[in-house]
Amino acid sequence: EAGVAQSPRYKIIEKRQSVAFWCNPISGHATLYWYQQILGQGPKLLIQFQNNGVVDDSQLPKDRFSAERLKGVDSTLKIQPAKLEDSAVYLCASSLGTINEQFFGPGTRLTVL
């Protein structure tokens, strides 16, 4: 069974630029999550999708971050414009549903200069 795929693995941009990350969850997983992991901290949930609907985006900085999950499969997370403090690893995870194990992708390491 293929795992959660993410791309790119690394990205370096300058502040005020835009960036987008892509995630392909495990086939059949209805729930998809985006986490932000700042160096020295645990992952923090940014947004959670159930199929193609948002169920929790309370921690998403909506003035600059956006995410979508068209057709309930792949998802993209966008930052526009980026700030220095957005430097982090962005992890995508998926699960069959609620109270199921979350499977994590390898993450995208973003550096904002």
Binding mask 85-104 for another protein (x = CB under 8 A): ------x-x-x-xxxxxx-x
106 sits near another protein (criterion: CB under 8 A): yes
- 12-20, 21-29, 61-69, 105-113 -> range binding another protein (CB under 8 A): 105-113
Q: Which stretch binds another protein (CB under 8 A): 15-23, 40-48, 66-74, 80-88?
A: 40-48
Task: Give CA–CA dist 78/75, Å, rounded.
Answer: 10
Residue 46 Cα distances to 1, 2, 17, 108, angstroms: 26, 24, 20, 14
CA 41 to chain centre: 16
Size of the chain, expressed as the number of residues it contains: 113
Q: Which is nearer to another protein, 13 or 96 (CB)?
A: 96
Using CB under 8 A as the binding rule, whether residue 107 contacts another protein is answered as yes
Name the pairing type of β-strands 19-24 and 5-7.
Answer: antiparallel
Among 60, 57, 73, smallest CA distance to 4 is for 73
Interface with another protein by CB under 8 A: which residues? 3-4, 31, 40-45, 48, 55-56, 91, 93, 95, 97-102, 104-107
